[in-house]
Amino acid sequence: MKMAPTLEGGLRIDADSLTDWMILELICADASRLPGPPLYDQLSSRMEQDDDWKEFVVPDIVTQFQDQITHISRAISSAPKDEEHSGSLFIHKDDSMIWYGAVNQARLSLEKQYDLSMHEILETEKALDDLEPELRSAVIRNQFYCAIQSALLDYVL
């Protein structure tokens, strides 16, 4: 998989195989699997809450988070692919905040599930090989999601 900025100020992701598309689809799966209280509760835990918060703000946050995941899922599933499953996915400037938010949800979910900040020093292939397969997969996905967010920040946002 390759990622590069576009001349129009967006981001292009070239997937070369079915595995690449499955990895992209995991953004949505990971973003949807946040353990514990809902993300809006986790974000608001330090804020003073009242009845207006639950009545007016929470529904909008829930809708926004779910809409981000739905948007990304549709973009990935509708991207054109050839017989070998090669294809390109374009993130346009108008969609960049949606992508950034969904990828951020995925990273928060992975952190909560696997305590990835404890594994940040794992930069060598040997260190990754020593991890259990599920944790290794989460670390690699988190690094990939971080690369997407960095590219969005560097070239699109």
Which of 45, 43, 76 lies closest to 60, judged by CA? 43
Q: How confident is the model at residue 75 (pLDDT cuts 50, 70, 90)?
A: very high
Q: Which residue has the higher pLDDT, 92 or 157?
A: 92
pTM of the model: 0.82
CA-only gyration radius of the chain, Å: 17
Domain of 91 in residue numbering reads as 2-156
Distance CA 34, CA 85 (A): 29
Confidence bin at 120 (pLDDT 50/70/90): low
Looking at the structure of the chain, the number of domains it has is 1
* Higher pLDDT, residue 14 or 38: 14
d(CA 151, CA 146): 9
Q: Choose the weakest-confidence range: 68-82, 94-108, 114-128, 142-156.
A: 114-128
Selection from 92, 94, 100 nearest residue 69 by Cα? 100
Average pLDDT value for residue range 35-52: 64
Residue among 39, 35, 32, 42 nearest 113 (CA): 35
Stretch among 97-101, 109-113, 128-132 having the lowest mean pLDDT: 128-132
